């Protein structure tokens, strides 16, 4: 039997459709590498439908960078995140944060609250005015009057699910989530009651995004508390 050269055989198979086409090269871009994040955080970082993984798109770059550092350096505890970014440098994490911060994507619809109006009104009072007698600052003092965050490092509170908000406040209370010192959110979360947290997260998750959903360019006034990772 006459054996044809392998190259000729491969060419014949290709003509007959019997050989697979060579795979297209994968582009080495930051967006391509960020697909490792969107598997959990949802398409383009819009947030996963289960409500557990938060939105990344459009958050202040400084906030995203701080959280990546917190996971990598052990201040936040979630094994999958910590292992994924453990070998990554500060420079690379900053680039990754900048990529997601630059995305301008639609937000999900708000969740309908289940609490009575008086409970939601008390929650709004705490969010917008705080409680001076308990040394609780208003959420808007740092997260912005529109509650969409402030540049460069304070996140928005709208567009997040109740489950995620409850989970993070609970993690601060238990010490599972920490931030760079001074950890202002740990103090605030521990000062709130379970009922207040439930009402506040229901109020926040039930609010539509304003016409301009982007983080404010800066705080309207000096922050009432010092928070690690947030420039004074």
What digits encode the pLDDT tens for the residues 90-135? 999 999 999 999 999 999 999 999 999 999 999 999 999 999 999 9
User: Taking a C-beta distance cutoff of 8 angstroms, is the pair 158, 204 a contact?
Assistant: yes
Please report, for residues 97, 131, 178, 224, the alpha-carbon distance to residue 49 in angstroms, rounded to integers and kept in the order given.
Answer: 22, 34, 25, 34
CA–chain centroid gap for 211, Å, is: 21
Confidence class for position 145, pLDDT limits 50, 70, 90:
very high
Q: Where are the domains of the chain?
A: 30-106, 108-232
Express each pLDDT in 153-162 by its tens digit. Answer: 999 999 999 9
| Superfamily covering domain 108-232 | Cytochrome c-like domain (1.10.760.10)
| Superfamily covering domain 30-106 | Cytochrome c-like domain (1.10.760.10)
Express each pLDDT in 62-86 by its tens digit. Answer: 999 999 999 999 999 888 898 989 9
Express each pLDDT in 178-202 by its tens digit. Answer: 999 999 999 999 999 999 999 999 9
Alpha-carbon gap, residue 173 to 166, rounded angstroms: 11
Q: Is 30-106's fold the same as 108-232's?
A: yes
Provide the whole-model pTM.
0.86
Query: Cα angle at 163 between 215 and 60, to 5 degrees?
Result: 20
């Amino acid at each position: 039997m006459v054996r044809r050269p392998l190259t000729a055989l491969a060419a014949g198979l290709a003509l007959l459709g019997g050989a697979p086409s060579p795979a297209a090269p994968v582009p080495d871009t930051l967006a391509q590498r960020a697909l490792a994040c969107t598997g959990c955080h949802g398409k383009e970082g819009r947030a996963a439908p289960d409500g557990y993984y938060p939105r990344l798109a459009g958050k202040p770059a400084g906030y995203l960078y701080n959280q990546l550092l917190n996971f990598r350096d052990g201040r936040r505890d979630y094994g999958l995140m910590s292992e994924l970014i453990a070998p990554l440098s500060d420079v690379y994490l900053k680039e990754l944060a900048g990529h997601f911060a630059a995305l301008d994507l639609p937000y999900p619809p708000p969740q309908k609250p289940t609490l009575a109006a008086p409970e939601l009104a008390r929650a709004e009072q705490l969010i917008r005015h705080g409680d001076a007698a308990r040394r609780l600052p208003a959420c808007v003092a740092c997260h912005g009057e529109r509650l969409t965050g402030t540049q460069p490092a304070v996140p928005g509170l709208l567009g997040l699910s109740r489950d995620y908000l409850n989970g993070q406040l609970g993690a601060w209370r238990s010490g599972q989530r920490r931030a760079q010192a001074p950890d202002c959110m740990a103090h605030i979360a521990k000062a709130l009651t379970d009922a207040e947290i439930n009402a506040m997260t229901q109020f926040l998750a039930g609010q539509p995004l304003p016409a301009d959903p982007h983080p404010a360019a800066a705080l309207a006034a000096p922050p009432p508390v010092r928070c690690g990772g947030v420039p004074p």
